Amino acid sequence: MGNPDATQKHIEQVMDGGDEADPAAVFSMVCGDHEGVHAFLNAVAVGMAVMDEQGRLLWANKALGRILDRAPASLTGQPFTRYVADMDPGQALDLHRRYLAGGSGMTKEWTALRRDGRRVPVYVSPGRLRISGDTTCSLICVTDLTAQGENKEALTRRAFQQGIISEIGLFALSSGDILGLMRKTVLLMVSILDVEMAEVMRLMPDGALRLEAGVGSPDPEGTIYPGQADSGQSMAAYLQSASGPVIMEDYAGETRFTVPDVFLRAGMRSGVGMLIHGRDGHYGFLGAHTSKKRVFTEDDVHFLQSLANVLSEAVTRTGAEAALAASNRLGRLILEAVGEGIFGIDRAGSITFVNPATAQLTGYPAEKLAGEDPHALWHHSKPDGKPFPRSKSPILKVLADGRRRHVREDWFWRADGRIFPVDYVVTPLLEDDQIRGAVVAFRDITERKKAEKALTYQAYHDELTGLYNRAFFIERLERAMRATKSGGRGHFAVMFLDIDDFKFVNDSLGHTVGDRLLRGIAMRLWNTLDPGDVIARFGGDEFAVLVDGRDVPGKGLATAERIHEEFKKPARIDEFEFYVTASIGIVDDVAGYEGVDEVLRDADTAMFQAKSRGKGNSEVFDRAMHDRASERLHLVTGLRRALEHGELYLAYQPIFRLPDRRTVGFEALARWRHPVRGILSPAVFIPVAESSGLILPLGDFVLRECCGRMRRWIDEHPGAGGMSISANISAKQLMQGDLAARVGRVLGETGLDPRHLKLEITESVLMENAELAVDLLSRLRDMGVRLSVDDFGTGYSSLSYLRRLPVNELKIDRSFVSNMDVNPEKFEIVRAIVQLARALNLDVCAEGVETEAELAGLLSLGCGLGQGYLHARPLPADEARAFIPDPL
Ligand code: C2E
Ligand code: CA
Ligand code: CA
């Protein structure tokens, strides 16, 4: 079949009774590619054509070609009216249309137009060929009357016989029911030939004859007549040796062979018999008998011959197919059309039939496969080349036990020596509880396997970097933990790795560069590890490594050091050069852990610990860390309670003008009076508050408290009129979005003028949320609130952002101020920041001024404001109040 897909589609249409079915295509599907059908239609002596509803010839047989003196193929696609000489085309078409709609009038004598211009009288008898719901074709039989010189009676009889042949032919076409076909044939023979007995006899391998279908026989169908073909004296042997039909005028005087007893018992006198060809030689005989002494005419013989041809075609094509697809015409067509390979085997395991797909998939020509041993051809070895014993073959096992099997994955070999994966179903063919053979339906699953592979690849790999993903890592970690638990070898470490400041790359250079950098990092990590180690990307800039430490404790840390070492080399992307650092947390030995979750949790804790020490550090998880982690948990519950019970309060650290040391404001710093542990530093509880979300109520408390305090001071103290109060704003508070609204509400509630409030936001937080910050800070500034960039110098301020941010002040981080008088590097950094502030027209405030020397240094650089122990520590409110100077 040319195009299995297209054919399949048409089959579906036929099944649906689809109206859209194109008759030409459907016909070619039903008959066109069926060699057996072609052979049959070409074998009959009458002209035959199939026409569609528009009267176009879809197919014509050789006999019609002879009658019209044209090549049969040239007739295809032509309107039949072209070959009609005695009627105008419209009239002829109308007649045809009416016939298809159920009318009559087609059956008559017509005059046909030959190519050589001759007009010949023909007798036409049509048949209707219903292909699907609404699609009807006609099958017309055409007999050339000039060859006969008939009398009227013979003519009518002939036409009638033609109709019968076409009817039988159609039945053969549309049904795989071979027994039904035989019964129908013998019934028609009796009525048409006017005989009393007709039968189909099958020739058995042992020379016996079996009555397959019969009318008028004294014996029932299925009767076996032993030894009827094995002697030269038998009628069966004679019929086989004769090339054509054998006419027996009188059984009483028959000398050529011994007349079978059954005909004599039935009282038969004359008869005609002919051979039915089968797949492998002779199938059997078709016979008609009468009790009268009668000479069968050439017409009768012709008719019988046509019927025998039909039967021959039918039995040749059926056989194993019939057992498989039973009486289902579509089943047979599908067998031909499907892409699935289907082949039958007999009891011995030899091939009885193959469909075209089998030939195509295995690479063997279909016609060479019958009788071959499929096991030897394509199932002989396993993919590794080792022989596949017959005793293990699921296909051959079905022949032994009759149980259907579905093998989801196996391998067949092609004729060219290549191997391909298959999925197949082996169905036994049972007849009267006897295993007659089996049908194997197989499919090439190369594509399916590819898809499966891609799927498992996707399920276990990170798309961006090609490393394993979290799911795979956890699976492997679980396996490693099981191995150590069951006392096997092993010492596995887990590393958790987070790229420092990766967000900065993404935000400032874009995701494309970020992705490329990540791929590069992944590659370098992978190269740094030992082959047995498993590395996975957990998402974002997080990686995890399962280090197979074998018997070397501490290998985790050593591996981490190698990674830090590797990262000292720059990564290059286009014109950019990156120095990447990673913070690495290590669980040195997974033994002793219950589950993967705890391992990952502790590695994560260690990683955070490493990060808190600065960039590019490693930390091995230890007990103290665990304690810290559980302490954190206690802190969260404690902090919640503290907020409810008023355990939090604010300390106020004065901010002063450097040249004259006059206090110009205060920074509000949170404190926690812990009922057991005493006063806790914000360095302890602010991170906990941030990660638990408690920073929001805490932040609200701080704002309300310090604004209220400032308002009172202003009310009470005339010197406070020009002062400001600074509150720290955390990342979470900033991200919350409605910060401006919250601040506005607090200012409204406390009655503080916005210009007295200064909000400090850490530089790194601002830069990480720069887009959002620009928008949000603008709103705050529009309200009149002042803004300060805290811890300046520790983040990576992009100058362009800084310029866009509506801030008023930079606060130089304490780390640069401390010892700046003795550390020239720090001194230069402070100088740069002061100059930057001046350039951007911003105030600048130095944090952590502890010594006079630092103060002198700051003064020499022109820094305006300061804050530090030198001037004052953070103080309780009433003590801080004492720093409010008298008005000038
Ligand atoms: P920060 O904003 O940089 O606050 C200044 C920190 O430096 C304060 O620590 C202060 O006590 C300390 N300090 C001031 N002068 C000196 C000095 O001369 N030498 C030294 N060594 N330290 C000095 P504190 O109060 O422990 O606060 C730590 C951090 O906690 C603050 O750093 C701030 O980031 C955060 N924080 C404090 N209160 C709050 C708050 O209400 N909300 C938020 N979100 N964060 C807060
Ligand atoms: Ca601050
Ligand atoms: Ca600070």
What CATH number has the domain bearing residue 229? 3.30.450.40
134-165 per-position pLDDT tens digit: 667 777 878 777 654 445 455 555 655 665 66
Same-domain check for residues 310 and 378? no
Whether residue 308 is predicted with pLDDT greater than 60 in this model: the reply is: yes
For 610-633, write each residue's pLDDT tens digit.
988 888 999 998 877 777 777 777
713 part of a folded domain: yes
Choose which residue among 652, 658, 669, 703 to substitute to test ligand 1 binding: the one with the highest number of ligand atoms within 8 A of its C-beta.
669
Q: Are residues 137 and 165 in the same domain?
A: no
Q: What CA–CA distance (Å, rounded) separates 81 from 432?
A: 54
Task: Name the residue among 309, 247, 313 with its Cα closest to residue 44.
Answer: 309
- pLDDT tens for each residue of 479-496: 888 887 776 666 889 999
Ligand 1 atom with minimal separation from the 867 CA: 15
For 312-346, give one letter per residue: b (16+ CB within 10 A) or e: bbbbbbbbbbbbbbeeeebebbbbbbbebbbbbbb
Q: How far apart are CA 405 and CA 392, in angstroms?
A: 13
Q: Which two tokens stand for residue 463?
A: 């798309």
346 shares a domain with 212: no
Q: Kindly report the length of the chain.
A: 888
pLDDT given at position 331: 42
The residue whose CA is least distant from atom 12 of ligand 1 is 848
CATH of the domain at 738: 3.20.20.450
Distance (angstroms) between ligand 1 centre and the Cα of 683 equals 8
Of 561 and 316, the one with more pLDDT: 561
Closest by CA position to 607, among listed 560, 566, 570 = 560
Distance 886 CA to ligand 2 centre (A): 25
Mean pLDDT of 393-419: 90
- C-alpha 638/C-alpha 506 separation (Å) is 37
For residue 758, the ligand closest to its alpha carbon is 2
Residue 741 has pLDDT above 60, yes or no: yes
Is 347 within the bounds of a domain?
Answer: yes
Q: Which ligand 1 atom sits nearest the alpha carbon of residue 874? A: 11
Residue 486: count of CB within 10 angstroms of its CB: 8
Pick from 97-111, 193-207, 215-229, 306-320: least confident: 306-320
Residue 730 Cα: closest atom of ligand 1: 44
Determine the distance separating the centroid of ligand 1 and the alpha carbon of 704, expressed in angstroms: 19
**Reported confidence tier of residue 499, pLDDT bands at 50, 70, 90:** very high
Looking at residue 33, its pLDDT comes to 45
One domain for residues 501 and 525:
yes
- How far is 553 from 562, CA to CA, in rounded Å? 16
Average the pLDDT over each of 326-330, 346-350, 536-540, 590-594 and give the range with the smallest value. 326-330
Mean pLDDT lowest among 267-271, 327-331, 500-504, 672-676:
327-331
**Range with lowest mean pLDDT among 215-229, 396-410, 423-437:** 423-437
Side chain identity, residue 188: L
For residue 171, what pLDDT is reported? 59
pLDDT at 60 over 90: no
Q: What percentage of residues in the chain have a pLDDT greater than 90?
A: 33
More confident residue, 15 or 425: 425
Mean pLDDT taken over the chain:
82
Do 830 and 869 share a domain, yes or no?
yes
Which pLDDT band holds residue 39 (cuts at 50, 70, 90)? low
| Residue 392 CA to its chain's centroid (Å) | 33
**Taking a C-beta distance cutoff of 8 angstroms, is the pair 441, 424 a contact?**
yes
DSSP for 359-401? HHHH-S-HHHHTT--HHHHHSSB-TTS-B--GGG-HHHHHHHH
What is the number of other CB atoms lying within 10 angstroms of the CB of residue 595?
11
Pocket of ligand 1 (CB under 6 A): 653, 669-670, 681-683, 686, 702, 728, 730, 760, 790-791, 814, 847-850, 867-869, 874
Element (H, E) at 226: none
> pLDDT of 279-299, one tens digit each?
767 889 999 999 988 888 877
Q: Which ligand is nearest to the CA of 791?
A: 3
Cβ atoms < 10 Å from Cβ of 662: 13
Q: Which of 653, 728, 794 to mutate to test the pocket of ligand 1 (most atoms within 8 A of CB)?
A: 728
User: What's the CA gap between 795 and 763, in Å, rounded?
Assistant: 5
120 and 207 inside one domain:
no
782 pLDDT exceeds 50? yes
Q: 65 — alpha (psi -120 to 50), left (phi > 0) or beta?
A: alpha
The residue among 146, 161, 195 that closes a domain is 146
- Count how many Cα atoms sit within 13 Å of the Cα of residue 685 in the half-sphere of its side chain: 28
DSSP result, 326-342: TT-HHHHHHHHH-SSEE
**In-domain check, residue 330:** no
* Domains contained in the chain, number: 5
Query: Alpha-carbon distance 744 to 281, whole Å?
Result: 103
Inform me whether the pLDDT recorded for 790 exceeds 90.
yes
CA of 728 to the centre of ligand 3 (A): 9
* Tokens (6 digits) for 873: 């520590």
Query: Which amino acid, residue 417?
Result: G
Pull the structure tokens for residue 530.
Answer: 């030992």
Q: Domain for residue 626, yes or no?
A: no
Total Cβ atoms within 10 A of residue 2: 9
| Residue 40: band (very low, low, confident or very high) from pLDDT cuts 50, 70, 90 | low
User: 355-398, pLDDT tens digit by residue?
Assistant: 888 999 999 988 888 888 999 999 999 988 899 999 999 999 99
Most confidently modeled range among 55-64, 371-380, 489-498, 687-696: 371-380
Distance 204 CA to ligand 3 centre (A): 106
**Domain match, 137 and 180 both:** no
% of the chain at pLDDT higher than 70: 85
* 302 and 182 belong to one structural domain: yes
What is 605-644 written as a DSSP string? HHHHHHHHT-TT-EEE--HHHHHHHHHHHHHHHHHHHHHH
17 or 476, which is more confident: 476
Same domain, 531 and 600: yes
Query: What's the pLDDT score for residue 9?
Result: 36
Strands (DSSP E) along 392-529, which ranges? 405-413, 419-431, 434-444, 492-499
In whole angstroms, what is the distance from residue 793 CA to residue 76 CA? Answer: 89
Boundary of a domain, candidates 146, 172, 205: 146
Among the candidates 113, 146, 179, a domain finishes at 146
User: Of ligand 1's atoms, which has the minimum distance to the CA of residue 729?
Assistant: 44
Q: Which atom of ligand 1 is nearest to the CA of 869?
A: 18
Extract the tokens encoding 215: 């009318």
- Which of 488-502, 790-804, 807-821, 851-865 has the lowest average pLDDT? 790-804
**pLDDT tens sequence across 567-602:** 999 888 887 788 889 999 999 888 878 888 889 988
Q: Which has the closest alpha carbon to 357: 326, 324, 335, 385? A: 335
**If you ran DSSP here, which 8-state letter would residue 255 be given?**
-
Beta bridge partners of 342: 441
The two three-digit tokens of residue 803, written as one number: 């310029």
Q: pTM of the prediction?
A: 0.42
Residue 12 pLDDT class (50, 70, 90 cuts): very low
With 70 as the cut, is the pLDDT of residue 657 above it?
Answer: yes
Q: How many CA atoms lie within 13 A of 402 on its CB side?
A: 8
Using only C-alpha atoms, what is the Rg of the chain? 49
Residue 456 located in a structural domain: no
Determine, yes or no, domain membership for 776: yes
Rounded distance, CA 107 to CA 523, Å? 84
- Tell me, what's the pLDDT at 339? 65
pLDDT of residue 335: 55
- 69/90 same-domain check: yes
Residues 783 and 762 in one domain: yes
Cα gap 350→346, rounded to integer Å: 5
**CA-690 nearest atom, ligand 1:** 44
Hey, which of 58-67, 486-495, 840-849 has the most confident mean pLDDT? Answer: 840-849
In a domain, 629, yes or no: no
Strand partners, 663: 656
The CATH number covering residue 365 comes to: 3.30.450.20
Q: Which residue of 726, 788, 816, 847 sits with most ligand 1 atoms within 8 Å of its CB, as the best mutation to test the pocket?
A: 847
Residue 419, pLDDT above cutoff 70: yes
Give the model confidence (pLDDT) of 747-758 as tens digits: 999 999 999 999
Q: How far is the CA of 509 from the centre of ligand 2 (A)?
A: 29
Let me know if residue 680 belongs to a domain: yes
Residues 41 and 59 in one domain: yes
Contacts of 547 (CB under 8 A, 6+ apart): 492, 493, 494, 495, 529, 530, 533, 555, 556, 559
Rounded CA separation 704/668 (Å): 11
Choose between 243 and 825: higher pLDDT.
825
Its domain, for residue 540, covers: 461-621
Asked if residue 2 has pLDDT above 60, the reply is: no
